[in-house]
Amino acid sequence: MLNFLIFGPPGSGKGTQSVHLAEKFNLLHLSTGDMLRAEIISGSELGKRVKGLMEKGELVPDSVVIEMIAHKIDSEKMKSGFLYDGFPRTVEQAVALEEMLGRRGMKISAMLALDVDHDELVRRLMGRGAVSGRPDDQDIKVIENRIEVYRSKTEPLADHFRKRGIYRPVNGMGSVEDIFERLCMVVETN
């Protein structure tokens, strides 16, 4: 099974591209935020644990997130693989994900990293904020901070996957269609 990670700073278009890639390559798009909410709604044992943690304002431990992903992988047999949107976020999470996949005879196929100029990210986020009304996409100081946090937190992850030879930078500039075409070329060669 294929396992692709898609990364990019806020405004890089990873959410939009994830939907298109998942459809074209028959991949299950895994967003941990969406998965956490779905587990809670389902009323599963895992969902009850997650809900309890979130109600206390606590972070969901990496082990629980990995367990949730493992459950999803084990229950999904009709897809060609998985597309992880914004996960893992730390080297520790990456190692845990790799170990969990290894126990299932699987590995990460590639980290697709959307590369977008800083000014373009700001422009996209401000445009999105004007349409969506999201306050975090309307304040330039908040936008700048989100981009900086992404860069500082993600660089160690990029290095981790570079060392494994599976880091794939993709030019994230241009139209949605052009970016999608570039991503498809990378997916098809892995």
The catalytic site residues sit at 14, 89, 128, 134, 146
CB atoms within 10 A of CB 188: 9
Report whether 1 contacts 80 (CB < 8 A).
yes
Report whether 14 contacts 86 (CB < 8 A).
yes
Report whether 9 contacts 15 (CB < 8 A).
no
Alpha helices, DSSP H, located in 3-139: 14-25, 32-42, 45-55, 62-75, 91-103, 118-132
